[in-house]
Structure 1
């Protein structure tokens, strides 16, 4: 008599991480730097909320859905040579989530009349964006890598 239970369906293999041109996040960081300078100069919680929406698009949908990523991909990258190498999208995407957190806190500060909170959160995000734009040093990416390293169980460790 044949076995009535169907063969188990194998679990799908994990998808390879999306690879991106590392110049894209640096371009986005440069635009973000300008936006955050404008936020600090004007104290505009609305402008910071708009930047938060940009961060949210990159964090939730991936960098290809970020408005700055779209501009880079369609207007800037065609004018550049091909990248020397590609990088994993996950660290910059995590950095977008960190930026989103700071932007939401800052916008809430500005819009609620707590200007010092808006200034502090905007300034922190500005430092991170500037470091990435000017020097290619992504603080959020480093946080991601640190979290991945510390979350992995090590052999011989409970």
Structure 2
């Protein structure tokens, strides 16, 4: 992990579950200002995850305060860099939805929410972090380029 402290891998899955719930709310609200506010909250949450790391989000604080004390310690810790990159991907998608929504492109709000929902659901339900996979693909491509 090159000096990074490991994180409990169940934390990002919990964060993804809360994110999925919020994206469903945004989808149910449609293209109006209430949906835009929910998507903006998600974008801000992703922003915290990018700046502070995945453990610096409000969802992660809920996990540490209410969920983790009730669980056995994790078998192993996870490198925080892939989930942090996934937060960046979420920020770009939700941020673009917010920006376009503010510019009057209402359908961008549910489209962005749907994309975030797919990724967060896959992570929460199956442990498949699409942003993490993109991060690892980038690492492999950089390594291949360095060896070429």
CA–CA distance in structure 1, aligned partners of residues 6 and 37 of structure 2: 33
State the TM-score, normalizing by the size of structure 2.
0.91
Shift of 1:111: 2.8
Give the match for residue 8 of structure 1: none
Correspondence 1:125 to 2:112: no
CA–CA distance in structure 2, aligned partners of residues 154 and 109 of structure 1: 38
CA–CA distance in structure 2, aligned partners of residues 150 and 127 of structure 1: 25
CA–CA distance in structure 2, aligned partners of residues 25 and 122 of structure 1: 18
Give the match for residue 17 of structure 1: 4
**Aligned to 1:115, what secondary structure does the other structure show?**
coil
One of 63, 76, 87 as aligned partner of 1:96: 87
Q: Which has the higher contact order (CA 8 A, sep 6+)?
A: 2
- Larger-Rg structure: 1
One of 125, 128, 135 as aligned partner of 1:137: 128
Alignment map for 1:31-70 (pairs within 5 Å): 31-43=18-30, 44-70=35-61
| CA root-mean-square deviation | 1.5
Correspondence 1:115 to 2:101: no
CA–CA distance in structure 2, aligned partners of residues 110 and 38 of structure 1: 16
Shift of 1:15: 5.8
The number of aligned residues is: 143
State the TM-score, normalizing by the size of structure 1.
0.86
Aligned partners of 1:108 and 1:118 also within 8 Å: no
CA–CA distance in structure 2, aligned partners of residues 109 and 36 of structure 1: 17
